[in-house]
Structure 1
Amino acid sequence: MSGFKKFLFRGNLIDLAVAFVVGAAFAGLVKDFANSFITPLIALLGGKPDYTRLAVTIDGTRFPYGIFVTSAIAFVITAAIVYFLVVLPTAKLIERMDRGKEATERECPQCLSDIPVKAVRCRYCTSEIAPAAEVPA
């Protein structure tokens, strides 16, 4: 029982649980945003994207492919919302915050692996490397 308790209270499991709960809440937020704003905009431009009634019948068996088409459109809309309203602004913010930071690694000219800036020998291919040029402040 102590092993199970140790497993439950390990940091990675707690972090994963928190990430899952926040992710589920965020998914609901994105879905509601799409339903409240994006889908009505699309409906204004070209009609409501609802193809759930589309189906084909082969030998008496109905294949409702319209459900998949509607879900695929919803997925593309959701992915675009997440990319343009979350991923892109976050990447730009991180890039802006990292501008002033000093580089801690450089590329080995022989094997192209990342090595510490002050290294004079590559830890991967063991090539001798010229010291990094000092960048004036």
Structure 2
Amino acid sequence: MLKEFKEFALRGNVVDLAVAVVIGSAFSAITTSLVNDIIMPLIGIITGGHDFSGLQFTVGNAVVKYGVFIQTVINFVLIAAVLFTVVKFMNRLKRKHQPQPEEVVQKLTMEQELLTEIRDLLKKERVKDQSWG
């Protein structure tokens, strides 16, 4: 059983997944900091320093903190926009570094060339007949 667990744990997919989770959590911390520490203060300047998280109302004994919800939605949208931009940038870099496939120039046989000429002539005649029409 220990041998099977070792094979499972050291299989490439499990290790790759573990690395992805660690890098993902580190990247999450970066994007959260970007939104909370850089973008949100700038939005605060634009909105006159208004912080949505303090908005609330009371119904009976319950306090409904709708401002926290609004702030969370704004954070989500900003984080999603940052991630979208980063992924788009990375895809653009990836495309630049990939070798472009060479166009395959196919040499036509004599028969194919003749058929192509006949087709083109028939198209010309059809267009000429339609213009008299």
TM-score (norm. length: structure 2): 0.66
Structure 2 portions without partners, runs of 5+: 107-133
Distance 2:50 2:81 in 1: 16
Structure with larger Rg: 2
Distance 2:94 2:20 in 1: 20
> What is the number of residues matched between the two proteins?
105
The structure in which a higher percent of residues are strand is 1
Structure 1 portions without partners, runs of 5+: 104-133
Q: Residues 25 and 48 (structure 1 numbering): CA distance in 2 closer, same or farther, change over 3 Å? A: farther
Q: Trace 1:76-87 onto structure 2 (pairs within 5 A).
A: 76-84=77-85, 86-87=86-87
Question: What's the counterpart of residue 96 of structure 2?
Answer: 96
Distance 1:40 1:11 in 2: 42
Matched, 1:71 2:41: no
Instruction: Among all aligned residue pairs of Structure 1 and Structure 2, give the percentage whose two residues are the same amino acid.
Output: 35
After the TM superposition, which segments of 4 or more aligned residues of structure 1 sit over 6 Å from their partners? none
Question: What's the counterpart of residue 110 of structure 2?
Answer: none
Question: What's the counterpart of residue 8 of structure 1?
Answer: 9
Q: Residues 49 and 24 (structure 1 numbering): CA distance in 2 closer, same or farther, change over 3 Å? A: farther
The structure in which a higher percent of residues are helix is 2
TM-score (norm. length: structure 1): 0.64
The answer to whether the 8 Å contact 1:49/1:70 transfers is: no
